[in-house]
Each structure stands twice: as C-alpha cells, then as structure tokens.
C-alpha cells in the first residue's frame, strides 16, 4: 500500500510524482481519470450500504452512516475499505475531491489529523469542521 504525501511523492519505495490535476480518493489513495469516476468509485467502495440486501449507494460517508442508523438501526464506526486513519465517518465531509483536507489539516504521511490552535483562545482543538470549543458559561 502506498502513502500519498501532499507534495506528490510516494513515501514507500520508489518516488513517483502524482499528476497534480488528477482526482484521487482520500479514503484509499487511488487515482482516477476524472471527478465523476472518482465519485462513482467512492459510492461503490466506500459509501455503499453495508446491510445485506440493501444496494443503496450514498454520496458521503456521513450520509451512509445516517442511512444505516435510520433505515437499518445499526451504527457504522468506520468507512469501509479505507486506509487506517482516513476511515472516520464523521471527521470529514468528502464528496469526490470536495472536502479533502489540506496538508495543514491532515498529515498524509502518518494519516492523522493535525491539532490546530483556536484564534481567540489559543487553545487546541481537533477535527475537521469541529470549530473552536464553546465559550465558557457566564459567571453565577
């Protein structure tokens, strides 16, 4: 399995330059000819309902999780067929190349999210779209 560094270099074995304009799957690191093929791949491999007999293909991982919970009353812990560290159902809102985290938000060599500092408090928080922590309650 190869590891995609955001600078376009494969970290394992030979170094290979990725085509900067080619879409690629965040979940499994596979490249595609165009965005539509990538979206079809994500629906078939990563966002397909896991319930036997249900052939529903969703648009996002979160959509799949919501479908599984509301229709089949089961929870999904991880995105199917995803690289470990990129398998969170709720941390990312990815559809095709839209929502793919940048190198400032995600470490592609270790497959971990980067802890960011909030602008107002200087405190740390994690996660895509998590936003800064809520303000403290007012004094009594």
State both tokens at 76: 């999904």
The whole-number pLDDT of residue 138 equals: 76
The whole-number pLDDT of residue 20 equals: 61
pTM of the predicted model, to two decimals? 0.68
Task: Label residues 41-53 b or e (16+ Cβ within 10 Å = b).
Answer: bbbebbbbbeeee
Percent of the chain with pLDDT over 70: 71
Asked if residues 86 and 101 have their Cβ atoms less than 8 Å apart, the reply is no
């Amino acid at each position: 399995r190869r590891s995609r560094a955001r600078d376009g270099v494969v970290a394992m074995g030979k170094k290979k330059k990725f085509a900067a304009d080619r879409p690629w799957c965040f979940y499994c690191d596979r490249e595609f000819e165009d965005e539509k093929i990538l979206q079809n791949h994500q629906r078939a491999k990563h966002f397909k309902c896991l319930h036997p007999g249900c052939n529903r293909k969703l648009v996002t991982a979160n959509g799949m999780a919501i479908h599984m919970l509301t229709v089949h009353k089961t929870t999904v812990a991880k995105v199917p067929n995803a690289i470990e560290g990129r398998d969170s159902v709720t941390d990312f809102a990815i559809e095709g190349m839209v929502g793919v985290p940048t190198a400032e938000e995600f470490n592609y060599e270790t497959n971990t999210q980067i802890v960011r500092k909030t602008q107002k408090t200087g405190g740390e928080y994690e996660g895509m779209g998590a936003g800064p922590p809520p303000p403290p309650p007012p004094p009594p």
